[in-house]
Structure 1
Amino acid sequence: MGIQDIIKGKKEWRAHVARVKALPKDYQIVYKEIQKYLFKVGPVELTEGIDLLSGIVDFFEEGVSLGKDVLEVTGNDVAAFCDELIKDSKTYADIYQESVNKEVNEAIKKSTDKTRE
């Protein structure tokens, strides 16, 4: 990644943040919670760009233009809304589960092999 890519990324992020700040306060609050949720659980590719987050802002801007409250847009269960957004994406939780399962399977295999000796 070159310096130009870094500068471009920062400009895109600043423009994105400005769009979020232009949303009504209730939308901003829900957006920030969604962002935190996605950064904790969320898709591995989220770190590659802001496409998903920009899509959420697009969706929110549409809700604002239609005069909807934020929970009319997302539903009352914001975490479920997030889960639906990333349902087809590989998440950090998936990677961790795979790692745990691999460790368990290897430990059991070693234990079984020692028992047979």
Structure 2
Amino acid sequence: MRIQDIIEGKKEWRAHMARVKSLPQDYQIVYREMQKYLFKVGPVELTDEKGLLSGIVDLFEEGAALGKGVLEVTGSDVAAFCDDLIKDSKTYADIYQESVDQKVSKAMKKVTDKTK
């Protein structure tokens, strides 16, 4: 990764967070909690330009513009809302699980080859 790419990434992140800070207080609080949750759960395409977090901010901006409270947008179970958003997304846990499965398969193949 080039230094220029890092600088661009920081600029994009600052612009993203400026959008979050322009939201009403209740939206900011829920966004931060969703962000923490999603960082822990680990969908792979979370922060890219057209990623999940930008989509959430878009949704929140629309909800705020319509005068809705944040829980009218997400529902009262925010974690379930997040889970629904990422249900078809590949997570880092998925990648790790695939890696483990491949390693186990290779190891088991070696064991069965030796016993033949």
Aligned-residue identity in percent: 77
Q: Which residue identity lines up with residue 19 of structure 1 in the other structure?
A: R
* Residue of structure 1 equivalent to 2:27: 27
**Hey, what does 2:59 align to over in structure 1?**
59
> Aligned letter for 2:74?
T
Is contact 2:45–2:52 with CA below 8 Å preserved after alignment? Answer: no
- Mapped partners of 1:110, 1:5: distance in 2: 42
Decide which structure has greater helix share: 1
CA distance in 1, matches of 2:48, 2:24: 27
Cα RMSD (Å):
2.3
Greater CA drift, 96-105 or 58-67 = 96-105
Ranges in structure 2 where 5+ consecutive residues have no aligned partner:
none
CA contact under 8 A between 1:42 and 1:86: conserved in structure 2? Answer: no
Residue 44 of structure 1 aligns to a residue in which SS?
A: coil
Counterpart mapping for 1:1-117 below 5 A: 1-46=1-46, 48=48, 51-98=51-98
Superposition deviation, residue 92 in structure 1: 2.3
Counterparts of 1:63 and 1:102, CA distance in 2: 44
Of stretches 102-111 and 45-54 in structure 1, the one that deviates more from structure 2 is 102-111
TM-score norm. by structure 2 comes to 0.79
* 2-structure distance, mates of 1:3, 1:31: 29
Closer, same or farther in 2 for the Cα pair 1:3/1:26, shift >3 Å?
Answer: same
Contact kept? 1:35, 1:53, Cα under 8 Å: yes
Q: Distance in 2 between matches of 1:73 and 1:48?
A: 23
In the alignment, is the contact (CA less than 8 A) between 2:75 and 2:81 conserved in 1? yes
